[in-house]
Amino acid sequence: MARPPGDAQAIETAVLEAIRPDSATRERLDTARRHLLERAEAAAREIQSPVVRCLVAGSAARGTYLRDRMDIDLFLLFPPALARDAFERAGLDLARAILHNGQMRYAEHPYLRGEFEGFQVEAVPGYAVEDSTRPQSAVDRTPFHQTYVTERLTPAVADQVRLTKQFLRALGVYGSDARTGGFSGYLIELLLLRFRTLRDLLAAARAWRIPTTLLTAPRAPPRLPDSVALVVDDPVDPERNVASALSRRNLALFILAAGAYLDRPDRSAFEIAPPRGVGRAEALALVAERGTTVAVLAFDRPDLVDDVLFPQLRKAERGLVEEAGRLGFRILGSASAADATRGAIVLEVEHARLPAAKVQDGPPAGLDRVDSFLTKWGASDAPVLQGPYVTADGRLAVEVRRRERDLAPLLTDALARLPLGRDLKRSLPAESRLGLLDEAADEPVLAVALAELLVKRLPWLDGSPPAGTPAGASG
C-alpha cells in the first residue's frame, strides 16, 4: 500500500538536523583547516618549495559539507612557468612533507591522500594561473570557483546545498567520479545559487528533457555530443560544461525522482539504502523464472584508479554487447562492476544458442559480383543448407551452417579483437573466457553486477528491492 505524502517542510527540517554539522564539529573542522594551512606553509619553507599558494577549497571551505562527509581538499598552487615533470615532483614533495603517511593517488596527475587531525585530506597540486579560462591542469580553476561561490553563498542556501547533496546521495547519483557519473559538489552549489532551494530545483527539474541546457548568459546553445545530459556553463570559464560527467541515466533518474518527491514527499528520499547484492543462487532462480541466459566475464582487477578503470570497464561492456548483437543474439541487458580486487561483466540474452542456419547475404542482381557469388555458393558441393536464392529486396542469398552457435565460446573467441579499453584489455590473461552463470564463482563483485542486471526498479516505488550501492562522494 502506498504511504500518504508527508509534509515536505517538516521532512526537510528533520533531515537538515541530522546532516548539518553541529557547532562543535564545525569548530573542530575550522581549527584543522587553519592548522593544515600553517603546516603547509611551514613545510614549504622548510623544503624550499616553489609553491605560490596553499589553499583549502571545496565544501570544507565553503561550509556545504555534511556531518558524515567532512573531507578537506588542500590545493598546492605552483608557478605556471614550472615544467610539468618538475611541477609533479614539487607537488608530491610538498604533499609528503605535509601528510607524512599519505598514500599516492592518481587523477590527471598524482596527488596524496592522508589524515590530519582526524580528517581525511587530499593534497592536490595545481598551477596558480591568473586567467580561469586558460587552466594548465584540471584543478586550476579551483581558486576562482572558491571566490565565486563564497561571495554568493548564504547560510540558508548552504543548508539547501546540504539537503540536495543528501537527496542525490540517497538516489545514488552524487559524485562526478567515473564510477558514479553523477552531480559534483560544485555543480550542486551552482544549481542552488540559481534555484535557491531544493524544492525549487526539483520543480524545475521535473520538466527537464534530455539534454537540458542551463546557461548563465544568453548565447547560442552549444552543439552537444550524444552522450551529454546536462549543460551548465562554468561562470569562471563559460566554455566549460560543469555537468559533463553527469550521465543521461543519472539525470533521467533525478528528473523522475524530482517529480516523485514533489508529488509525495517522504523521508525515505533522503535515506541511503544498504548496498544490494544478488548471489549466484538467487540470480539463477531469477534467470530461470525469466527464461533467459546470463553470461559472465570475471577477472582480477587491474592496477588502475577508478577514474581510469570504470570508463574502460563500461567500454568493454559495450563492446561485448555490440558483438553479441552482431552475432545474432538478442540482448536484454548488461552490467559491470569492480571492487578492490575483482571485476565482472554480465550479459543477459534471450537465448544462448543460435539457430544452425545463418543467412549469408549476396549482391543485388545485375552486379558483376553475382557471378563470383554463384560460383562459390552454387556448386553442388558447396556447404549450404539452402540456396542460392533471391530475397524479397532483389539480392542473392544463401543459408549456411554456423560453425559455432553458443554465446560464451563465440564471445570468448572475440575477446582478442574487441575494443575493451587499452589497459583493461592488456591486463586480461590470454586464457580469459566468458562462461555461463551456473559456472561462475559466487563472489561479491559478481553479486553487485547481478543486482544491477536483474533487480532494476525505481527506488521510491513501494516494494522496491534495496537500491544499488550508493555513491561514496565526499560532502
Q: What is the pLDDT of residue 360?
A: 92
Q: Stretch 328-353: mean pLDDT, rounded?
A: 96
My answer on whether 376 and 438 are in the same domain is no
My answer on whether 14 and 131 are in the same domain is yes
Q: What is the pLDDT of residue 239?
A: 87
Q: What is the pLDDT of residue 3?
A: 61
pLDDT at 245 exceeding the cut of 90: yes
CA dist list (Å): 389 to 335, 370, 375, 379, 385? 41, 12, 13, 13, 12
pLDDT tens-place string over residues 65-89:
999 989 999 999 999 999 999 999 9
**Could you tell me the pLDDT band of residue 468, with boundaries at 50, 70 and 90?**
very low
pLDDT at 469 exceeding the cut of 50: no
User: Number of H helices and number of E strands within the chain?
Assistant: 15, 15
Exposure string of 280-301, with b = 16+ CB inside 10 Å and e = fewer, is beebbebbeeeebbbbbbbbeb
Mean pLDDT is lowest, of 71-75, 319-323, 450-454, 462-466, for 462-466
My answer on whether 218 and 305 are in the same domain is no
Q: What is the pLDDT of residue 105?
A: 85
Is 2 a member of any domain?
no
Q: 303: domain range?
A: 280-353+405-454
My answer on whether 193 and 342 are in the same domain is no
Is 130 a member of any domain?
yes
My answer on whether 251 and 285 are in the same domain is no
pLDDT at 302 exceeding the cut of 70: yes
Q: Which residue has the higher pLDDT, 91 or 308?
A: 91
Task: Count up the domains in the chain and report the number.
Answer: 4
Cα gap 467→456, rounded to integer Å: 8
Q: What is the pLDDT of residue 221?
A: 60
How does the average pLDDT of the chain come out, rounded?
Answer: 92
CA dist list (Å): 161 to 18, 156, 190? 14, 9, 9
Is 310 a member of any domain?
yes
Is 462 a member of any domain?
no
Is 465 a member of any domain?
no
Final residue in a domain of this structure, among 216, 244, 270: 270
Is 3 a member of any domain?
no
Final residue in a domain of this structure, among 224, 239, 270: 270
Q: Stretch 57-65: mean pLDDT, rounded?
A: 95
pLDDT at 251 exceeding the cut of 90: yes
Is 413 a member of any domain?
yes
My answer on whether 311 and 447 are in the same domain is yes
**Cis before residue 222, ω within 30 degrees of 0?**
no
My answer on whether 201 and 252 are in the same domain is yes
- Output the nine-digit C-alpha cell for 20: 548539518
Q: What is the CATH number of the domain that holds 33?
A: 3.30.460.10
Q: What is the CATH number of the domain that holds 441?
A: 3.30.70.590
* Percentage, residues of the chain above pLDDT 90: 84
Q: Is 202 exposed, middle or buried (CB count within 10 Å of its CB: 0-12, 13-18, 19+)? A: buried
My answer on whether 176 and 225 are in the same domain is yes
Is 461 a member of any domain?
no
pLDDT tens-place string over residues 431-448:
999 999 999 999 999 999
Mean pLDDT is lowest, of 226-230, 270-274, 361-365, for 226-230
My answer on whether 41 and 64 are in the same domain is yes
Q: What is the CATH number of the domain that holds 189?
A: 1.10.1410.30
Q: What is the pLDDT of residue 316?
A: 96
My answer on whether 159 and 144 are in the same domain is no
